[in-house]
Structure 1
C-alpha cells in the first residue's frame, strides 16, 4: 500500500510514521487490490486527530478519529476502516451470491393465491 502521511501543526515523528504504516499494512491485507492511503495527523488544542482517505480499485473509504493521544486515534481509525472494509466486502458478497427472492416465490404470496 502506498501511504502518504501529512502532519499538521505538529512535528513529524519516525515512531508515529512506523506505527501508522504498521496499522495500515494490516488493513492492506484485507483489500482485494493494492491501495493508496492519504493519512493526515493533526493536533487542535488538546485533541489529536487522525484522518485517512483510502482508495483501492472500486473502494473508497474516508474515516476520522479524535482521541487524547495520537496512538489511540490511530487505533480507533484502524478499527473504523476495518469495519468499513468488512461491511463493503459483505455487501459485495451478498450481491454477487444471488440469494435474492423474487416477489413470486415468497411464501406469503403463495399462500394468498391458494
Structure 2
C-alpha cells in the first residue's frame, strides 16, 4: 500500500503523516494487490478538510470529510473509505457470483 499525503496551503507534520498512515493502513487488508491512496489535507475555516482518492483494481474511489480538527476529519475519512471499499467489493462479488438455476420449470 502506498500512501501519499500532501497539504493544500498546509504543512504536513510528521505526526499528521503518521496518523494518516495508521488510520488508512487498515484499508490494505481488503485487497491482495497493492493499492494507492492520495490524501489531501486542507484548512477551510472553520473546518478542517481531508480528501482521499484510492486507486483499487478496477476502480478509483473518492471520499472527503470535514471536522473540528484535522484528526477528527481523518477519522471520518478513514471510516468513509472503509465503507466505500466494502461496497465496491460486494458489487464485484455479486457480479462474479454464479446464478442459481431454478428447478421448477
Segments of 5+ residues of structure 1 without an aligned counterpart are: none
The offset of 1:98, in angstroms, is 2.0
Question: Which has the greater radius of gyration?
Answer: 1
The 8 Å contact of residues 47 and 67 in structure 1, kept in 2 or not, is answered as yes
Deviation larger for 27-36 or 76-85: 27-36
Partner of 2:60: 60
Partner-residue secondary structure (3-state), 1:99: coil
More helix by share: 1
The offset of 1:23, in angstroms, is 1.2
1:98 matches 2:63: no
Q: Which 4+ runs in 1 deviate beyond 3 A?
A: none
Q: TM-score, normalised by structure 2?
A: 0.89
Partner of 2:23: 23
Q: How many residues align?
A: 105
Q: TM-score, normalised by structure 1?
A: 0.82
| CA distance, structure 1, for counterparts of residue 32 and residue 61 of structure 2 | 14
Segments of 5+ residues of structure 2 without an aligned counterpart are: none
The offset of 1:58, in angstroms, is 1.1
Write the deviation string for residues 56-76 of structure 1: whole angstroms up to 9, x where unpaired: 221311000011111111111
Partner-residue secondary structure (3-state), 1:66: strand
